[in-house]
Copies of this chain bind each other. A is one copy, B any other.
C-alpha cells in the first residue's frame, strides 16, 4: 500500500510570483494536511509558464508522496496547469464529457450560456480523472506520476480560496491515503517577556533535532512560541501522553513567561484573565496612539472587560484629559529649559512626557477618568525624531495603576524603528498586566534598569 506520508503544495500564478497577491492557500493547505496526518515538506510557487510548472511537478514528485497544486485551472490562455500535469505524466489531454456537462450546467443555473473559452476547463490527462467543482467552473484533476521506486499522486484544485477550500475538504481529503500507523500531533506554547535565545537555552536538550516529539521555537512580534510535534506509530492515547510529557517539560522551562497555548494571543490571554476575575481595564496612550486599545479589542468579547481609553498624543491632552500636572511636561519648559516651581520659585528641569512621573500620572488619571479597575499608560519616544542622549528613541515608560492602590512603572527599550517600538510598547504593557494578574514578579525582556 502506498501511503501519503509527505506532501508538497505547489501554487501557480504570475500574480503570486510577482508579489501582487499574497499566497494564503499554502498555509491553509499545510495546516489541513498536517491535521489529516500528511506532513507538508515543501511549498513551491511558479509563474504561469508550462515548462516551469512541469519541471516543478517532476522535481517535487521525487521528494513526496502527494502534490497539491492550486491555481492555473481557469479558462484563459495563461492557465496551464492541465497542460503541465499532462507533460509531467507523459500523457495527453482529452475532453471529459461529465465535466463538460457540469460546466454547462453551472452556467445554465445562472441563466447564461457557457462562453466558448470555458470548454478548455473540461480537459484532463487521459489517464487522470476530473474532480467536480460545486463552487465554480474549474474542475479539479487527479493524476499519478510513477518513478522506478516511487509513486506520487497529484491533485489539482482551483486557486480562489472559496473554490479551493470546499474542493479540498469534500474531494481531496477522502482521496488522501493516511498511514494508520503514522500519526502527527502538535502543541504550541506561547511565551512573552523572554528572548528566543534565552528560552532555547532553558529548553536545552529538549530542542535536539533527533527528538520525537520534536521541539522548535519561533519568534514573531515579541511572542516566542515553543512548537512541539509528535510524528510516529503510537496510538492516539500514547501519542497524547508523550506530547503531554514534553509539554510539561517545556512549560517548566518557560515559566513564568508561558501565557497560553496554540492560537491564544497575549491580548486574548489578558481578556481571559480579566474575565475570570471579573475585572475591567482601560488605557492611556501616548506614543502607541491607540495601538494598545486596538490590540485588546481585536479579541471578540473584549467589551466585557475593556471599557476604553484616552489617546493623549499631544501634551495638552495629557493635562486636560488625564490630569498630568503641566509642569511635568516639556511644553512647560521656559526658555532656559527649566520650569519654575510655583512653591519655591526654584528652577527645576521638568521630568518630561517620557518619565516615570508622567507615566504614573497618566495611569492614575485614566484609572479615575475611565472608572476601571486597572489602567495601563504608555509614554515613549517612537522616533524617528525626538530622542536625546538621556532618552534615546525607543525609550518607553509604562505604568499600571490598579484600584487596589498598587502602582507599578517600568522603563523599556523597545527597539529602534517606529513600528517595532510601538508594537513592543503595547505588548510590554500587556506583559506587565499579565504579571500583575497572575501575581508574578519578574523582569520582562527589554526592561531597563531605572
Contacts and interface: CB of A to CB of B under 8 A. Distances in A.
A34 B15 CA distance: 12
Contact of A160 (B29, B42, B219): B219
Given A111-B449, A135-B416, 14 more contacts: A15-B225, A19-B27, A20-B188, A21-B218, A21-B220, A23-B27, A115-B201, A162-B415, A288-B297, A289-B302, A289-B306, A290-B295, A302-B313, A306-B313
A75 interface: yes
A29 B24 contact: no
Nearest to A306: B313
A119 to B, nearest CB: 10
B30 A19 contact: yes
Given A26-B23, A44-B42, A115-B198, A311 B308 contact: yes
Among the interface residues A40, A295, A296, A448, which one has the most CB atoms of the partner chain B within 10 A? A40
A384 B166 CA distance: 15
A346 interface: no
A52 B307 CA distance: 50
A14 interface: yes
Among the interface residues A56, A291, A306, which one has the most CB atoms of the partner chain B within 10 A? A291
A371 B316 CA distance: 10
A370 interface: yes
A119 B281 CA distance: 42
How many A residues are at the interface, by size bracket? 35 or more
A320 interface: yes
Given A13-B218, A207-B76, A308 B321 contact: yes
A290 B309 contact: yes
20 contacts: A14-B227, A15-B227, A18-B31, A20-B218, A21-B218, A21-B220, A43-B43, A115-B195, A117-B200, A117-B201, A135-B420, A162-B415, A166-B417, A283-B290, A288-B297, A291-B297, A300-B384, A300-B385, A303-B313, A321-B370
A162 B424 CA distance: 12
B162 A420 contact: yes
A234 interface: no
Nearest to A134: B416
Nearest to A76: B200
A156 interface: no
A352 interface: no
Interface in A28-42: 28-34, 40-42
A177 interface: no
Given A78-B207, A115-B197, A40 B26 contact: no
Contacts of A321: 308, 310, 369-370
B41 A43 contact: no
Contacts of A317: 307-308, 370
A289 B296 contact: yes
Given A27-B23, A43-B43, A208-B77, A313 B300 contact: no
Interface string A148-173: 00000000000010100010000000
Among the interface residues A20, A56, A303, A320, which one has the most CB atoms of the partner chain B within 10 A? A20
